[in-house]
Amino acid sequence: MTNRTMNMTIEGYEKLKTELNRLKSEERPMILEALKEAKALGDLSENAEYDSAKNDQAVVEGKIKEIEFVLENAKIIEKVDTSIVNVGVNVKLKYVDDGEIDTFEIVGSVEADPFENKISDESPIAQAVLNKKVNDVVTVKSPSGDYDVEIMEIF
């Protein structure tokens, strides 16, 4: 991973800190215990329990390193200006073609979760509406084709 600043809401930052703490205080000790028990079984060359525990350890340590990297490079968005679209705001958009309305929260890429309508500030739709105001109509450049949206509300 390259060193780059990652925008995050305070909620996303706190959620990652909680996950890091859980991995270090719960997952890591459980895996160390599993390794200890697997070693007690004897020959490690054909010990499936040991291999499984080592794989689990690698996954957890990888997650810990990734979260630590993100937290170290996070730029916390604390004050949110709702006069324009930016990271940390919710935005209600109307699709010009069909009149459908969607509401999204613009978040940093680490926090993005389309199932919760949290879209990355790097996504095509967020890129199109960032720094725009209510009533602006913008064209979203999407891999599946361009379309226009109107910014209905920023909150």
Do 18 and 58 lie in one domain? The reply is: yes
Q: What pTM, to 2 d.p., does this model score? A: 0.74
The CATH code of the domain that includes 54 is 1.10.287.180
**Regarding predicted confidence, which is higher, 101 or 2?**
101
The reported pLDDT for the residue numbered 4 is 77
pLDDT tier at 78 (50, 70, 90 boundaries)?
confident
CA distances, 44 to each of 29, 34, 87, 108, 151 (Å): 20, 13, 50, 43, 61
- Residue 144 phi/psi, 5-degree rounding, is -95, 5
Domain that includes residue 19, residue range? 6-77
Residue 129 falls within a domain, yes or no?
A: yes
Residues 59 and 29 in one domain: yes
Domain total of the chain? 2
Q: What value does the mean pLDDT take over residues 24-47?
A: 86
Question: Among 45, 77, 109, where does a domain finish?
Answer: 77
User: Final residue of a domain: which of 77, 105, 124?
Assistant: 77
